[in-house]
Amino acid sequence: MNKMLATVALIALSLPVLANAASFQPLGKTGMGGAGVALTTDSFAGYWNPAGLAFYDKPFSSKFNGGVGININSALADDADKLGKLDFNSLNNLNASSGLNAADAAKSAGEAVQFIGILKDLDSRGGALMVTPSGALAFQYKNYGLGAFASSEMAVGVHNVDMVNIMPANNGTTITQFATDIGAIAGRPATPVFSNAQYAAIISAFSGNTAVVDTLERQLAASNKTGLSSDQLAQSLVALGGALGGTNTSIDNNATSLIIKGLLLVEVPFAYGYKFDLKEFGQLGVGGAFKVMMGTTYGEIVKIQDAKGSDKLVKKLNDSKTDSTTVGVDIGAVWRKELPVVGQTSVGLVIKNLNSPEFDNPKDIPGKTKVDPQARMGGAITPFSWLTVAADMDLTKNKTLSDGNDSQNFGFGAELRPFSFTALRLGMYTNVADSGSGPVGTFGISLGPNWLKFDLDGAVAFKSATFDNKSYPREAKVEFGLSTMF
């Protein structure tokens, strides 16, 4: 037995080097901070940890669950909304050398400066916009489990940032010719946009041509629709000054693009758990699940000029998709013992997707979408009949469908049962792989007797982000469920 446990632990510890895994979706356990590996013994054990079936409470249980979440990571959604504020139908509209009169050329150049600032922000901060709907219907009979668990990850990320083709002018246009195009006249605005230090850096980048810089500063003072900071605008002008007359080419040719990827995964596990009596050392449950996995992958490359507005990006998620089916294997273990003071204590470990199942990608996305193994460990104690405390930790750093945005969650929570028909949950989790994500608070309530119980759970991040030009929690989720057991 000790050799078996050591083998499982060594496998788990070796997994963090693997890549391309989707994030672990805590179905049905949001209110507990996403902790359920050592705790789940009902019909959802087939998803969370099949070893939990060895400790079933009632001979039969069934549960229906549904939910949706959103994760607005870093700059992308905000930058997409800023693009939507600029007046251009195509990148050619940002070209001040495309036969416009001087006033319109200056306006186009001002918007081009803001466009360059957005590109620089995407290049430095990247970001992702993820939508995660989910659902499940599961059954448990004694130590057997069967169900259908739907989890999904829809992500919009940065595919390519082009900082070469950024001139709001024709190829080879010099600073002198650009000054003529925009009708450059010296004289700063009454309320300057830039500090003296920023202004000096911009003048240097434009080879001392104060008339061009002053004209662009007046334009930005009159219209900064995107709300870029003076520092961002100054960096944009420095980049533009270095591009004019050099090897950079027209903004018409800018190839910046975003990538939309998604995976809707329906798992149908056939799960079984078996319990060993270790006498004074407690009890050990082991289990496994063989599952049919039906995956729908989504994928599309979107040109930057077609990405004006984060709401439009979300709508594009369904434009291109491919269906495929494969199989997967999960294994797990749960140790349980009654300990002094802390009461019933459980420790669980699950390794999901041992065989690294793969799914076909749509035509725009090369290769396949692979769900690599995920290892998760958890513990739970029940010091009183009315209180349970639990915590879970991802042992693997799971790469999400948005490149550069990993998921490795640590979560904990407590459930209080003041009455036989009521349970209250409170918890928190955080993504330790993303230092900027911040903590997410969770909560939940259950009402009703065991034969028909209603669950409502939610999660809200303490940090905020911008989506569709409005401020929202950076991460949020809501789940509801109906369950029965007897």
pLDDT of 15 above 50:
no
Question: What are the φ/ψ torsions at residue 318 (nearest 5 degrees)?
Answer: -100, 10
Strands (E), 229-342: 257-277, 283-303, 321-339
Q: How many C-beta atoms lie closer than 10 Å to residue 360's C-beta?
A: 17
Concatenating the DSSP letter of every residue in 311-339 gives HHHHHGGGSSEEEEEEEEEEEEEEEEEEE
Among 415, 264, 248, 269, CA closest to 332: 269
pLDDT of 144 above 50:
yes
Residues 6+ apart with CB under 8 A from 483: 42, 43, 61, 62, 63, 64, 452, 453, 455
Q: How far apart are CA 21 and CA 399, in angstroms?
A: 5
pLDDT of 237 above 90:
yes
pLDDT at 13: 35
pLDDT at 299: 83
Q: How far apart are CA 110 and CA 61, in angstroms?
A: 63
User: What distance separates the 2 farthest-apart alpha carbons in the chain?
Assistant: 90
| pLDDT tens track for 268-298 | 999 999 999 999 999 999 999 999 999 999 8
Among 20, 18, 26, CA closest to 409: 26
pLDDT of 321 above 90:
no
Give me the domains of the chain, ranges plus CATH numbers.
2-74+127-160+256-485 (2.40.160), 81-125+172-248 (no CATH)
pLDDT at 9: 36
| pLDDT tens track for 19-29 | 344 778 889 99
Average pLDDT over residues 242-258: 86
Judged by average pLDDT, the poorest of 127-136, 327-336, 367-376, 386-395 is 127-136
Strands (E), 132-181: 134-141, 144-160
HSE value, Cβ hemisphere, 13 Å, CA-based, for 227: 9
Burial of 419 (0-12, 13-18, 19+ CB in 10 A): exposed
pLDDT of 213 above 90:
yes
DSSP SS3 for 284: strand
| pLDDT tens track for 419-458 | 999 999 999 999 998 877 789 999 999 999 999 999 999 9
Tokens representing 357 are 């199942």
pLDDT of 262 above 90:
no
Burial of 287 (0-12, 13-18, 19+ CB in 10 A): buried
pLDDT of 325 above 90:
yes
Average pLDDT, the chain: 89
Tokens representing 91 are 């990148």
pLDDT at 317: 64
Question: What are the φ/ψ torsions at residue 305 (nearest 5 degrees)?
Answer: -70, -15
pLDDT of 308 above 90:
no
Average pLDDT over residues 239-258: 86
The Cα-based distances of 98 to 88, 122, 173, 209, 210 in angstroms read 13, 27, 12, 22, 23
Place of tokens 């975003």: 258
DSSP state of 171: T
Query: ∠ at Cα 401 (315, 260), nearest 5°?
Result: 30
Bridge partner residues of 369 (DSSP): 359
pLDDT at 385: 94
pLDDT at 318: 66
Check: CB of residue 155 under 8 Å from CB of residue 401.
Answer: yes
DSSP SS3 for 193: coil
Residues 6+ apart with CB under 8 A from 119: 161, 162, 163, 166, 254, 256, 304
Percent of the chain with pLDDT over 90: 65
Residue 207 gets the label, from left (phi > 0), alpha (psi -120 to 50) or beta, of left
Question: What are the φ/ψ torsions at residue 275 (nearest 5 degrees)?
Answer: -110, 130
pLDDT at 469: 74
pLDDT of 361 above 80:
yes
Judged by average pLDDT, the poorest of 42-46, 262-266, 279-283 is 262-266
Place of tokens 């001002």: 110
Q: How far apart are CA 332 and CA 45, in angstroms?
A: 10
DSSP SS3 for 114: helix
- Residue 314 — pLDDT band, cuts 50, 70, 90? low
With residue 197 as reference, give the H or E element that holds it: helix 196-205
pLDDT at 100: 86
